[in-house]
Chains A and B, each alone.
Chain A
Amino acid sequence: MAALIATLASTLALTSTALAAKKTQPGDSGVERELRFKEGDESGNEVKALKTELLVIKSEKKALDQLLRLEKKYKNTRMEAEILFRLAELYMRRARSERFFEVHRNSERIMTFAPQLVKDASESAEIRKAIAHYQRIQERFPRFHSMDTVLFNNAYAFQQINDDKGAEALFAKLVKEHGSSSLVADSYLSMGEIRFKARDFTGALAHFKQIRRFPRARVYPYGLYKAAWTHYNLQDATSGMQQLEEVIKFGREVAQNGWDSKLDLRKEALNDLALFYTEVRPSIQAVDYFMAQARELDASVYSMRLVELYKRHSRYNDVEVVLKDILAKLPKGEATASAHEELVWNYDRTKRQSFAVTQLAAFDDFCTQTQLDAAKNLKKGQVAPRLECQDKIADTSKRLAGKWHGIWKKAYGFTTGNGGQDIAASADRAYRLYLKSVGGKDVDQPSIRYAFAELLFARKEFREASENYAALGTFQKAGGKIEQKISQDAAYAAIVSLEKAVGDKWSDPDEKRFGELSEWYISRHPEGPYSLELRFKRAFIAYEKERYDDAAPQFKKIGWAPEYVKPGATIPERVAKAQDLYLDILNIKKDYKAIKESAQILLSATSASTAAPRTAHIEKIYREAYFAEIQTREEKGDLAGAVEAYKKFALENAASELAPKAWWNASQLQFRMGDATGGANTCYQMHKIFPKSPNGRECLTKAANTFESMGRLDLAARVLLNLSEVEVENQSKWREVAADFFAMSGSKDRAITMYLKLAEVKKSDAMVALLDKAATVANEMATTGGDTKRLAEIEKLFTDKNIEPQASRLVVEQAEALFEKGDHTKAFNVAKRIISKESLPKSILARARFVQARVLEDEYRKQSVKAKVERVGQVLAIKTEKLEKAQKALQSAIRYGDPTVSVKALHRLGDCYVDYAKTVRSMTLPATVAAADREAFKNEIEQLAIPMEEKGIESMNQALETAKKAQLRDGQIADLQAEVNRLNLKPATAIMTVAGPQIYLPVFRYSQEVMQ
């Protein structure tokens, strides 16, 4: 027997050792160290668990073999029941190992190491073996000393294979047959639970109530606890609450008496009490109730359980009531921080973001105070640990800020109005709280700050936005990791925000900040999309602040960078702008030479096909600079150089709108220099080179003026022809003047042609005036060169067009010419053609009549008075008749009243009279006639001659007086006076000849000055 006990002891010890290996913490054993789990090493731990199970199985197998051998050995002895009980326990133990393999049936690793064990594993099989052994004890050893344990364990085994009925029967048997067993209360508990599980709450309650009979039982408080729940399930929460209150009360006693703490179920009861409370009591009393129940325990925790339940049922008002109560009455509770947080969320759920964010701030205050309180207890140099509430605030504010920001953005963020400012402000505060409370480990921190900066930007809080964007850079500089895109965008957004914050005026600090930010961007993202923009802006600020020396090299570096200044390159807008501004600075500095050179570099590098508008723009600048450079030259007094340069510019840039202006300037400079000829020539050329120049008319006018002033009528005429093309409205006038100038400068034929052409389109007086001019010039040609062709042409025009008095004047002149030629008959008849035209000027008619009179005078003079005696009378009569005809004609001419013709006619008439007297006096009779008759004839003749002679003298005197009266300055007066004197037998005096006055010349007063 002693050996048996020793064997059983060693077997159980072995078993215990084996079991203990699974339960106890690792010791110093090498095996234990080997089997110790390593955190995170899932597969390794799995293998280790397998190894452990294998060791256990090995031990169990040894124990089982030993017990089976003992069973055989002690079969049918008193020891058999004890051995069977040990075997049943061992099988229950093995069931656990089998369960391990069943559970790991899907593990490839376990399958690899112990495939057969896994395949054969069966927990229920082992349990059934245990049940079989317990049954054998019950059947064969009814008086076994631990029968209540056998029944309880067997019942438990039945429960394990889900045979609650079998289990319940065994528990009932135990209660019935072993009423004093310590396992009765446990059995009631198990039976109650089986009924509870079967939802037979009444049955269950009956069992649980039985437990109240065993206040010393370990399961006593649990029985109360389960009874509470059963009441609850029976819809009697009030009874349930009472049961729980009992549990709490019992627990308090356990604690006070120092009993097994496992019997203290206050926490569980308080926790579940919350559920029951929601069923029957108002939220307003909740915190007070739980404080009363919990007493020394922290009621905030259980109040929060209540909050959870209210929340689950969307009873947010109740949630708010309880939370506010918690914060008011339990400010230092374990769950106060959670209450703070939960209240925040409750406000959010009820769409009260401003309340939420205010609460969040309160939470933050709470947390801060907590931290301060904690800091008081720190030793010097000790760093305060991060509080959980800080994480909560960070997390909550992060989530809420993001959420609210999203809502605002969706609803209002893309509008220009001020809608949704409340929610935006809430988001703003939430972001700030986040950034205040967040620790360094939140990976979301960069993106949240970025989002905050975005919100600030959207809300036009530009400066702060800039700072927050920039903070990301600082964060990154300190080693923080930020997504590349956010980093790049933030760097640029910081600058844009700063720009927006600054507006138009850049203070020095702002400019410095801009420099820092842009440098940050450019250095980190040299190829970033905004790198160029920023470099430009940096220069632009300096430009705007008129620090041109700073701005110019920066613009130059951008605008003339080789990657842009090359054929085919597309010029970005900023590069073009940099070019423009650099050129503008040069322009401000009046450094036109540099502008010209810089523009030329651009022009030579760009191709028209790729950047035609830009090329045109640069060309324009180039030309303007070129032009301005010349103007500077002009202002400095280098007029000759400026003239040359202007002309060169104009010819090289003929398509430019400045070209005609340059040409014009050149002309004006020449005039200013005194080089009027050059200026006028330049103007003359201007019309040919730049016919559409706005100064063309003025220039040509000036050229014409100049040439006219110089007496260069030939050149003035050519310019006027050009002017007539420019000034179309005065075309005919300028052409006429040009013709005038041509006439006077030797081009008479051309002038006549122009006059005639102009006359073709003119009417009446204007046409006649032009023809008169043409006739005058043609007459000069005829007189000086003998060319009468053009004159004849014009006279024909007068005649054909019957232009008076020109046509008749020509007739008269023709008659006069014919007379001078001796063709008197024709002369007479030609004059006759107009003599009857009374509308003609008297001078014309007088001349015509005078021609006729001269013809008749000639006939009179030709009439001979020589005749035989018998025909003397007849001849004399004929002579007298001829005289009368001539006399009448001459008197007729005189009557027209033209002084010149009258004086001539009177002169001719007087001459005729004197001639008649002389002629008749010369008539003599032949000697054959008697002397007396001859004497008588002579006396008769004398009687005839004397009055005629007197008439002759009288007419001559009349002619003289008429000439004097008319002040004829052609010398006739002197001639007539001489004639009168002669007729009056006065001594002849020489007729004075008047010479033209001699040329006068300008002679200097002090001639010695002249040749110096």
Chain B
Amino acid sequence: MRPLSLKTKFAAAVGIAALAVGCSTAPIKKTEDAEAAKASRVYLDSVLPLPVSSRLVSDVICAVPAEAQKPAPGEKSGPSKDWKKLIAYANACAKAKSWGTLDTIAQALARADLNSPWGAYFQSLAAEGIGELQRAMWMADLAQKKAGGRAGLFAYQKGRILFAMKETARAMTEVQHAVELDSRLVDGHLFLADVYRRDLEPDRAVASYKEVLKNEGDNYRALTTLAELSLERGANAEAIEYYSKAVHAHPAQLQAWLRLAYIYETVQKNGAQALVTYRDLKMSIDRGSVRERPDFDLNAKIKALEQAIQASRAPAQAKAAIQGQPKSVKK
């Protein structure tokens, strides 16, 4: 077992105290502990941080496995035999929001693998789940310590807790630190981007959304929001590009089809490209790729655009075609 804070006696005690209660006001420390990082590496390197909503998170049912009661192995023998299994069950319980069971598994993890940060992390999630935010924060900090201060996920968790505490500014700082440590935390980028966008800081919002795309190039929300932000500042071509990517990556998303078509048709006055988009949408619907239906008559719209295009070649005909524009295709 590695020495922890109490080993350094008084100074450590002060540190614990600050973590325990004063964490809501104390500055976030970014100190790193190479030794702790080395000890916990085996627990961190083999996993990927994925959002709870991911279908990859767990395929087991939340329960306390028998392995949680097993005696722990010797320190020198490395990680316990069952730690991965315990994490799988913990993930399932987190996903199921079964906080009590999660806490039990988390304690088993903490007991069996003292160098592993996962016990503390899941304890943090369990505490957060039942509203024990101070405790959740302390556990997240403990997890971060065990990770040597280098794990983005635990900073991200602290950001989440701070946000729940309505400490949005501090939450942003922590999340920012989290994504700097681990840019795979796409939801961190999205969170920052959303706040910036809400608080009328479009440039920082764009930068954050783009960070999302760096890690997840087909992120639908990033693509569509970036498209809208581009549109707001008149960068129509850019908006078209983002929506195009969104449609390409998420062809089932009807709204993206419609906004792309709208920009072509209304903003750029490019009826031909709008027609192509509507036609592609129709094909997708016909193939079943898009299950939603627009609140207007798509066939009529296509027909109207075809007529308008013909009319543009013969202006009299074109006027009549324009009169059939649907109202619902607005932002």
Contact = CB atoms under 8 A, between A and B. Distances in A.
A-B complex is real: yes
A705 B188 contact: no
A415 interface: no
B112 A1000 contact: no
A997 interface: yes
A1007 B279 CA distance: 42
Residue in B95, B118, B142 whose Cβ sees the most chain A Cβ within 10 Å: B142
Nearest to B142: A711
A544 to B, nearest CB: 43
A993 B20 CA distance: 31
B84 A973 contact: no
B184 to A, nearest CB: 9
Interface string B75-105: 1110010001101101100110000000000
B78 to A, nearest CB: 10
Interface in B96-134: 106-107, 110-112, 114, 118-121, 123, 125, 131-132, 134
B10 A674 contact: no
Interface stretch (B50-58, B282-290, B293-301, B312-320): B50-58
A664 B22 CA distance: 34
Given A709-B1, A709-B4, A996 B164 contact: yes
Interface stretch (B195-203, B238-246, B248-256): B195-203
A961 to B, nearest CB: 11
Nearest to B188: A997
Contacts of A322: none
Contact of A997 (B20, B47, B71, B190): B190
Contacts of B60: 1011
A773 interface: yes
Contacts of A706: 1, 114
Nearest to A976: B200
Contact of B191 (A705, A740, A996): A996
B191 A994 contact: yes
Contact of B198 (A733, A973, A1004, A1007): A973
**Considering residues A973, A996, A1002, which has the most beta carbons from chain B within 10 angstroms of its beta carbon?**
A1002
Contacts of A992: 194, 197-198
B199 A974 contact: yes
Contacts of A737: 13, 16-17, 20
A672 interface: yes
Interface of B: 1, 3-7, 9-10, 13-14, 16-17, 19-22, 24, 46-54, 56-60, 71-77, 80, 84-85, 87-88, 90-91, 94-95, 106-107, 110-112, 114, 118-121, 123, 125, 131-132, 134-135, 138-139, 142, 146, 153, 156-157, 159-160, 163-164, 166, 168-169, 172, 175, 185, 187-188, 190-191, 194-195, 197-200
A769 to B, nearest CB: 9
Contacts of B135: 713, 744-745
A701 B5 CA distance: 10
Given A737-B20, A1005-B47, A677 B191 contact: no
A971 B200 CA distance: 10
Interface in A650-688: 671-677
Interface string A730-746: 10011011001101111
Nearest to A755: B21
Contact of B13 (A709, A734, A1002): A734
Interface residues of A, number: 62
A776 B21 contact: yes
A708 B175 contact: no
Contacts of A743: 20-21, 134
Nearest to A769: B22
Given A705-B3, A737-B17, A1011-B88, A998 B51 contact: yes
Contacts of A968: 199
Given A730-B9, A1001-B50, A1007-B56, A710 B111 contact: yes
A780 B23 CA distance: 14
Contacts of A733: 10, 13-14
A997 B159 contact: yes
B12 to A, nearest CB: 9
A736 B21 CA distance: 11
A977 interface: yes
Interface string A773-807: 10011001000100000000000000000000000
A930 interface: no
A995 to B, nearest CB: 7
B4 A1000 contact: no
Contact of B175 (A964, A997, A998): A997
Contact of B134 (A710, A744, A969, A993): A744
Interface of A: 639, 671-677, 701, 704-706, 708-713, 730, 733-734, 736-737, 740-741, 743-746, 773, 776-777, 780, 784, 964, 967-971, 973-974, 977, 991-1005, 1007, 1009-1011
6 contacts: A672-B74, A741-B16, A969-B172, A991-B198, A997-B163, A1010-B88
Contact of B195 (A674, A730, A994, A1005): A994
A968 B169 CA distance: 8
Given A734-B13, A969-B199, A1010-B84, A1000 B20 contact: no
Given A671-B75, A672-B74, A706-B114, A995 B6 contact: no
Most buried by B among A711, A970, A1011: A711
Contacts of A745: 135
Contacts of B164: 996
The 6 closest A-B pairs by CB, nearest first: A740-B20, A969-B168, A1002-B47, A674-B72, A997-B191, A710-B110
A784 B132 CA distance: 9
A730 B10 contact: yes
Contacts of B73: 673-674
Contacts of A1010: 84-85, 87-88
Contacts of B52: 998-1001
Contacts of A773: 21-22
B94 A999 contact: yes
A704 B6 CA distance: 7
B212 to A, nearest CB: 12
Contacts of A967: 169, 199
B209 to A, nearest CB: 13
Contacts of B74: 639, 672-674
Given A711-B120, A743-B20, A1004-B84, A998 B187 contact: yes
B200 A1011 contact: no
Nearest to A977: B200
Contacts of A730: 9-10, 13
Contacts of B54: 1001, 1003
B255 to A, nearest CB: 15
A967 B16 CA distance: 31
B28 to A, nearest CB: 16
B94 A674 contact: no
Contact of B107 (A712, A744, A964, A1011): A712
Given A705-B1, A993-B198, A1004-B87, 6 more contacts: A673-B75, A674-B112, A710-B114, A743-B134, A773-B22, A1000-B52
